[in-house]
Amino acid sequence: MKDNSKISSAVIKRLPRYRRYLYDLQKKNVDRISSNELSNLIGYTASQIRQDLNNFGGFGQQGYGYNIQSLYNEISAILGLDQEYKMVIVGTGNLGQAIANYTHYYKSGFKVAAMFDVNPKLIGLRINDIEVLDYEMLDEFMKNNTIDIGIICTNKDSAQEVVDKLCAGGVKGIWNFAPTDLNLSDDIALENVHLSDSLHSLAYYINRNKQKDS
């Protein structure tokens, strides 16, 4: 078995894209595909695709290419998508509710077990049959339930306190939408989604293209 701990984050971030394209190909009843054909679809070079996949073992056959269903299943297992994850969302404003709705309708093995907020107007609200609980109940809930992922949709001033509570409660990963960097131990996975950073990067590329055209 290969040691996946040394594989770069860039490779890991490309795997969901491979999986998404493979899923679409399965829906079209395509059985196999070569790295060159996948390159034409996805935009990465065939060499890059082969190199990425070879990090995890030999999935393709020379002269045959990749079996699409098999490769889809392999990538799903590599990403840990062959199991279910229980999550809590802290902060149930517009963004928190949007994420709850997304995970509910996407039905991808990520299940929201509870939602929390400090706003009395939101406490008691039901979203996809899940009641928004008072944030004061978070510690007790974490003690009584096994939760894999904590989703942070609070403002930046509250985020670190929330993360501390979630980590103390045993979460294995944090999906952070708060516009701040968080401090947590190395054994807890962290994925930051800073929406403003993404939007600002988009503005940069728009203006860079304008400069090219001028």
Please give the domain boundaries of the chain with CATH numbers for all domains: 4-77 (1.10.10.10), 85-197 (3.40.50.720)
Binding residues: 91-96
Residue ranges for the chain with pLDDT beneath 50: 1
Question: What pLDDT is attached to residue 1?
Answer: 42
Say if residues 52 and 70 touch (Cβ distance below 8 Å): no
pTM above 0.75, yes or no: yes
Binding residues for NAD(+): 91-96
List the one residue out of 188, 197, 147, 192 whose CA is nearest residue 169.
147
The per-residue pLDDT for range 80-133, each reduced to its tens digit, is 998 999 999 999 999 999 999 988 877 678 999 999 999 999 999 999 999 999
Which residues fall within 8 angstroms of residue 114, CB to CB, at 6 or more apart? 88, 89, 130, 133, 141, 145
User: Cα 64–4–68 angle (5° rounding)?
Assistant: 25
Main-chain phi, psi angles of 167, to 5 degrees: -65, -40
